[in-house]
Amino acid sequence: MKITDAAVFPYPCGDSSVRRMALEAETLGLDSLVAVDVPSGICEGIEIRSGVLLRDLPVKDVIARVRKNQDTGAVMIVNARDNGFNRAVLSLKGVHILRGIHAAEKTAFDHVTAKMAADCGVALDIDLSPLIFGRGIARQRAIHRYRDMLVFERRFEFPLTLSTGARSVLDMRATREITALCSLLGMDIPDVEKAFGGVGQVTSPPVPSVRVIP
Amino acid sequence: MSTRPPTLRENRRYVLTRVEPAGTVIDQKELYYTISDAVTSLWGDAMAAVIMAAVVAAEEGHVIVRCRRGSEKELAIALSTVTFCRNVRLALRIIAASGTIESLRERIRAGAQNAPEGTGPGEGIFNKTPCSVLYCNGQKLDVIEKGFKNTNRLFISRDDLELP
C-alpha cells in the first residue's frame, strides 16, 4: 500500500514545482502524489501520478473528457455538484475519485450515491484543506459533511482517499498530521491507513472473484 | 505570589516545531497570538484553557510551544492548522515533544549539524523567468521572481533551475 496524497496542484496552479513537492513529500512520509495537470513519473523516489480534475462541467463534457483520458493512465477526479450530477458521474466508467463533497449542496451525497460509489468502485475524497484553512462555520460544516459521509462509508464500504489540495509545499502535511486531522472526523488509524491506499485501490484493475484457469 | 513547590506545579510539555519557509522572521508575540487563535478556533475556549499553549522560545528557525501535559495531541492538531502569521505565509512542522526545553534545544543543535550544506547558485531561470535564490537546503531552493511587480516566492528544486 502506498501512502498517497490524492490531490496536489504544482506550478503553475501553485507556487511549488512538482519536484519540490516530491522532495517535501519524502520528508513528510508520503510515497506518492496525485499531481493535477502534470505528467506521471518518479521524482526523488516519490511516484507522481498524473491527475485530471474536472470541475464546473456539464455531464456531457465530463463523459467526453473521461473517454479522452481513459487510456492515458491519469487519475480522473471530478468535483462533486448536485445529487443528479454525482449519480451520473459515479456511474461513468473511468472516473476514479469524486471530490469536494464538503462544498457541494447538503443533499449531494446520500445513501443512493454511497451505494453507487461502492458498486462502481469510485472513491470519495476527503479534502483536508477546509480543516486546515477554514475557520468557524466553514470548518464546522466541512467536519459535519465528512462525518456524515463516513457514516455511509461504514455502511456501504466505498473507497476513500485523502488529499491536502496543496498548492504549495507549505500546504502539504505529514502523515502524522493528516492522521491527527482525520481524528477530528472520527477516523481511527486503520481507517486513515486504508484511505491513504485509496488511490491505488481505485486505479488498479479489479481482481475478479472467479478466475478461469484454462 | 510565591513560587509553588515543584510537586504542586502543573506538568508541562514542550513541542518543538520548525518554521517553514526557512528564513521567516518570527515575532514570538505575534506567533503566540496566531497559535492561540488556532487553538481557540479549533477547540474552543474551554479546551484552550486546558491546553494553555504558549510560545516559550523562537530561535534558529524553530519554535518551542508549551502546553499542559496530556494535551500535546490537541496542540499538534491546532498547530497543523496554522497557515499565516500576520499576513506572512508559514507552516509549522512538528519535530518532537519533550518534558524539558533543554532536550529540545539539543535536538535543534543536532539538526543544525546534520543539515545538508550547500550554497545556491545565486540566480537562475525557472520557467523562462529570471529568479534570485533566497534560500538553499540541499536539493531544495526557494527563489524569488525578479522584477518590479508579481515577485512571488517560488519553491523549486535544483533540477528545476536553469543557470543563466
Per-residue pLDDT tens over the stretch A68-97: 988 888 999 999 999 999 999 999 999 999
Q: Is residue B150 predicted with pLDDT exceeding 90?
A: no
Look at domain A4-202 and name its CATH class: alpha beta
Provide mean pLDDT across the span B43-50. Answer: 95
Burial class (CB in 10 A: 0-12, 13-18, 19+), B15: buried
pLDDT tens sequence across B59-70: 888 999 999 999
* C-alpha–C-alpha distance, residues B136 and B159, integer Å: 13
pLDDT tens sequence across B102-119: 999 999 998 877 766 666
pTM: 0.91
A20/B140 touch (CB, cutoff 8 Å), yes or no: yes
What's chain B's length in residues? 164
* Positions of chain A with pLDDT under 70: 205-207
ipTM exceeding 0.85, yes/no: yes
Domain boundaries, chain B: 10-114, 123-160
* C-alpha–C-alpha distance, residues A204 and B12, integer Å: 48
Residues 65-124 (B) with a CB less than 8 A from some CB of A: 73, 76-77, 80-81, 83, 89-91, 93-94
Supply the pLDDT for residue B111. 81
Look at domain B10-114 and name its CATH class: alpha beta
Q: Which three cell numbers stand for residue A95?
A: 472516473
Q: In three state form, how does the secondary structure of chain B look? A: CCCCCHHHCCCEEEEEEEEECCCCCCCHHHHHHHHHHHHHHHHHHHHHHHHCCEEEEEECCEEEEEEECCCHHHHHHHHCCCCEECCEECEEEEEEEECCHHHHHHHHHHHHHHCCCCCCCCEEEECCEEEEEEEEECCEEEEEECCCCCCCEEEEEHHHCECC
Q: Which chain A residue lies closest to B92 (C-alpha atoms)?
A: A170
Q: pLDDT-based confidence at B126, cuts 50/70/90?
A: confident
B80/A180 touch (CB, cutoff 8 Å), yes or no: yes
